[in-house]
Amino acid sequence: MKKQTVKEILIDIQNSAKLSKPYLTVSELSIYTGFSESYIYKLCSNRQIPYYKSPTGKTTIFKRAEINSWLTQYKVEVINP
């Protein structure tokens, strides 16, 4: 097993804290979902993903609970043999 430095551990903790927030930025959503930032912007542009804009219109944010619902709405039913 690879030894982690204190700096790496702190970075992991910071990333975990960011991902427990109720609202996510595009970059945080990219980490959370594994989607590229450009794909997320494309989904926003096509209004295929729930999102909000800041009052200035410069920042795009996502509500974690809505993203979780959105991600699970396309469930594929299992066919039992």
Nearest to 28 by CA among 39, 38, 18, 13: 18
Does residue 60 lie within any of the structural domains? yes
Task: Give the predicted TM-score (pTM) of the model.
Answer: 0.71
- How is residue 77 written in tokens? 């039913």
3-state secondary structure of 74: coil
Does residue 50 lie within any of the structural domains? yes
How many separate domains does the chain show? 1
Does residue 58 lie within any of the structural domains? yes
Does residue 13 lie within any of the structural domains? no
Name the residue type at position 7: K
What does the pLDDT read at residue 19? Answer: 58
Does residue 42 lie within any of the structural domains? yes
Does residue 52 lie within any of the structural domains? yes
| pLDDT-flagged residues of the chain (< 70) | 1-2, 14-19
What does the pLDDT read at residue 4? Answer: 73
What is the domain extent for residue 42? Answer: 23-72
Does residue 45 lie within any of the structural domains? yes
- How is residue 3 written in tokens? 């030894």
- Are the C-beta atoms of 28 and 61 separated by less than 8 Å? no
Strands in 60-63's sheet, in edge-to-edge order, are: 23-25, 60-63, 52-53
